[in-house]
């Protein structure tokens, strides 16, 4: 800890230097109070490393660094094309370190190494590259008027405070950093306390890429302390948050004190609707992936499956078979593993308590329904992929976000009935529709209240396509051109061209 880095060897044999400080002004520094967070491997429950945790005082330092960097000519006057060059360089550095970064996230979060390497990392690299290309293509309009001219500038918002969750540590960081940097903002980003490690290695790469000091500051810290201090800091102009809806309501309240610009990406209970005319095998495969991948810890997880009456029994039987043959639970490093452990003891307990609640309320456990203690010899937060049938729509397992490998399956009669049930939720993040009827596919996609709809698929996500929620699933959009709106503001300039006052 003293020199703010430690040598680590991961269970897959990878040895590396882990920074442990707070990254402020391109330097790793100790927390003023000496407060720390110790990260653990959720498969073995062993500690990995202890890192510095920011207090409100440290947050203030990081915000002031970002505030100063806004007016540093090395950033402010940097040609937008050269800003793009820095971002391309960063993408390249992430790419050349992708095995290391995937190792750290697999170790710290519990996700299968293969998934981190083939899913999280390409996504993070792709998003930074996508926004690198935008840097010199962000500009305003000219508006001709009689005897006048008006034009607009698209300018950065200023100092951006970003708060991310633990389910996809590096890709969530890239979704936040990419558009904010492309628009010329400066940043203080706070990682989730459950996964504090990979972002510090990323911070090192940001420095290597050549970003001026203070442009990106990376802190670890507790949500209630460092997160809250960041959201409330008067020099923070904008807050971008991904996490639970409950925390988002707190963030919105705190941000209101200085009328901060906000974007929120929160929870979901996304419906997946299977019509009788669907390709059943495709529906089974996608719906399994849509809830069981990433240990079920996906904000857009299609966690409520609605199946039309005529194929309900067949679908349920095939879905259970798919869970049993595909969703192998095990250690992150085992190439056979489909699901690793849940991220923390807290999440493990929470998911198990939802399973208990489902049982208590009279739903049927069709498969799974328990912890898998034998995998780690009594250690590790492993949970059997769980399917509930005979679920009523007033049960908590039907209504609330579980954020684990637990799915509820219910049946419906007609199309309008499916749409009504799908929309009977406070959430509106994703939704999926399985049908071979083209007209129905588009009709239902348009009627479902969600920020994203997948037709005959689930979980598609692409840097070029906007992502976000309606209702209590969020405010604003990330990714795509729409993602730039969250990080730029329009200034209008009026020019008098001979419009005399007489």
Contact 117, 98 (CB under 8 A): yes
Site string for ligand NAI, 253-292 (x = CB under 6 A): -------------xx-------------------------
C-beta of 78 vs 351, nearer to Mg ion: 351
Task: Return the bridge partners of 148, or none.
Answer: 145, 496
Decide: is 91 part of the binding site for ligand NAI (CB under 6 A). Answer: no
Per CB under 6 A, the segment of 15-23, 47-55, 188-196, 477-485 that binds ligand NAI is 188-196
Contact 275, 440 (CB under 8 A): yes
Find which of Mg ion, ligand NAI, none residue 39 binds, CB within 5 to 8 Å per kind: Mg ion
Tokens matching residue 68: 């100063």
C-beta of 103 vs 242, nearer to ligand NAI: 242
Task: Return the bridge partners of 475, or none.
Answer: 264
Find which of Mg ion, ligand NAI, none residue 354 binds, CB within 5 to 8 Å per kind: none
| Nearest residue to Mg ion on Cβ basis | 108
Decide: is 167 part of the binding site for ligand NAI (CB under 6 A). Answer: yes
Contact 277, 436 (CB under 8 A): yes
Contact 226, 190 (CB under 8 A): yes
Decide: is 51 part of the binding site for ligand NAI (CB under 6 A). Answer: no
C-beta of 236 vs 251, nearer to ligand NAI: 251
Find which of Mg ion, ligand NAI, none residue 342 binds, CB within 5 to 8 Å per kind: none
C-beta of 435 vs 473, nearer to ligand NAI: 473
Residues 6 or more apart whose Cβ sits within 8 Å of residue 85: 132
Site string for Mg ion, 86-125 (x = CB under 5 A): ----------------------x-----------------
Residue 49 CA from chain centroid, whole number: 23
Residue 327 burial class via C-beta count within 10 angstroms: exposed 0-12, middle 13-18, buried 19 and up: buried
Residues 6 or more apart whose Cβ sits within 8 Å of residue 397: 354, 357, 358, 361, 363, 388, 391, 406, 408
Rounded Cα gap, residues 228 and 459, in angstroms: 31
- In the bound complex, what is the minimum distance in angstroms from residue 243's beta carbon to ligand NAI? 3
H helices of 183-240, where?
198-209, 228-232
Decide: is 110 part of the binding site for ligand NAI (CB under 6 A). Answer: no
Task: Return the bridge partners of 28, or none.
Answer: 23
H helices of 7-79, where?
56-70, 73-76
Find which of Mg ion, ligand NAI, none residue 108 binds, CB within 5 to 8 Å per kind: Mg ion
Q: What part of residues 7-66 is at the interface with Mg ion (CB under 5 A)?
A: 39-40
Rounded Cα gap, residues 161 and 91, in angstroms: 22
Rounded Cα gap, residues 59 and 232, in angstroms: 10
Q: What part of residues 322-351 is at the interface with ligand NAI (CB under 6 A)?
A: 347, 350
Q: State yes or no: is 356 an active-site residue.
A: no
C-beta of 50 vs 489, nearer to Mg ion: 50
- In the bound complex, what is the minimum distance in angstroms from residue 356's beta carbon to ligand NAI? 15
Using CB under 6 A as the criterion, which residues of the chain lie in contact with ligand NAI when the complex forms? 163-167, 190, 192-193, 223-224, 227-228, 231, 242-244, 247, 250-251, 266-267, 299, 347, 350, 401, 403
């Amino acid at each position: 800890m003293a020199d703010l880095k430690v040598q680590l060897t991961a269970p897959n044999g990878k040895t590396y230097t882990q920074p442990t400080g707070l990254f402020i002004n391109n330097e790793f520094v100790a927390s003023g109070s000496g407060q720390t967070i110790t990260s653990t491997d959720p498969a073995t429950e062993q500690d990995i490393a202890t890192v510095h945790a920011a207090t409100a005082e440290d947050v203030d330092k990081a915000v002031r660094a970002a505030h100063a960097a806004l007016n540093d000519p090395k950033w402010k006057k940097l040609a937008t094309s050269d800003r793009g060059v820095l971002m391309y360089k960063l993408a390249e550095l992430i790419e050349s370190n992708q095995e290391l970064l995937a190792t750290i996230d697999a170790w710290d979060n519990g996700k299968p190494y293969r998934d981190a390497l083939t899913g999280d990392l390409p996504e993070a690299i792709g998003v930074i590259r996508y926004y690198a290309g935008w840097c010199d293509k962000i500009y305003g309009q000219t508006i001709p008027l009689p005897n006048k001219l008006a034009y607009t500038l698209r300018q950065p918002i200023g100092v951006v405070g970003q708060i991310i969750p633990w389910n996809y540590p590096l890709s969530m960081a890239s979704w936040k950093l990419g558009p904010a940097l492309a628009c010329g903002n400066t940043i203080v980003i706070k990682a989730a306390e459950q996964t504090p490690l990979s972002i510090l290695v990323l911070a090192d790469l940001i420095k290597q890429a050549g970003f001026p000091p203070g442009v990106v500051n990376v802190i670890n810290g507790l949500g209630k302390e460092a997160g809250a201090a960041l959201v409330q800091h008067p020099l923070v102009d904008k807050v971008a948050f991904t996490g639970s809806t409950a925390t988002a309501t707190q963030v919105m309240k705190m941000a209101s004190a200085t009328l901060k610009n906000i974007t929120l990406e929160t929870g979901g209970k996304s419906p997946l609707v299977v019509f009788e005319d669907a390709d059943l095998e495709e529906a089974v495969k996608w719906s399994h992936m849509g809830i069981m991948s990433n240990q079920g810890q996906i904000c857009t997880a299609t966690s409520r499956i609605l199946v039309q009456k005529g194929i309900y029994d067949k679908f349920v039987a095939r879905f259970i078979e798919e869970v049993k043959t595909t969703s192998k639970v095990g250690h992150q490093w085992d190439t056979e593993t489909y699901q690793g452990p849940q991220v923390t003891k807290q999440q493990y307990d929470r998911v198990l308590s939802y399973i208990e609640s489902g049982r208590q309320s009279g739903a049927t456990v069709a498969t799974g329904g328990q912890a898998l203690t034998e995998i780690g010899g009594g250690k590790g937060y492993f949970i059997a992929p769980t399917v509930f049938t005979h679920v009523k729509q007033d049960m908590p397992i039907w209504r609330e976000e579980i954020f684990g490998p637990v799915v509820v399956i219910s049946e419906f009669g007609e199309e309008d009935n499916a749409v009504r049930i799908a929309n009977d939720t406070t959430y509106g993040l994703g939704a999926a529709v399985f049908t071979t009827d083209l007209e129905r596919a588009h009709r239902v996609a348009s009627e479902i209240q969600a920020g994203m709809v997948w037709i005959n698929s689930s979980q598609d996500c692409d840097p070029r396509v906007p992502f976000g929620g309606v209702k209590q699933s969020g405010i604003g959009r990330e990714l795509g051109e729409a993602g730039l709106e969250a990080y730029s503001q329009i200034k209008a300039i009026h020019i008098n061209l001979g419009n005399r006052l007489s």
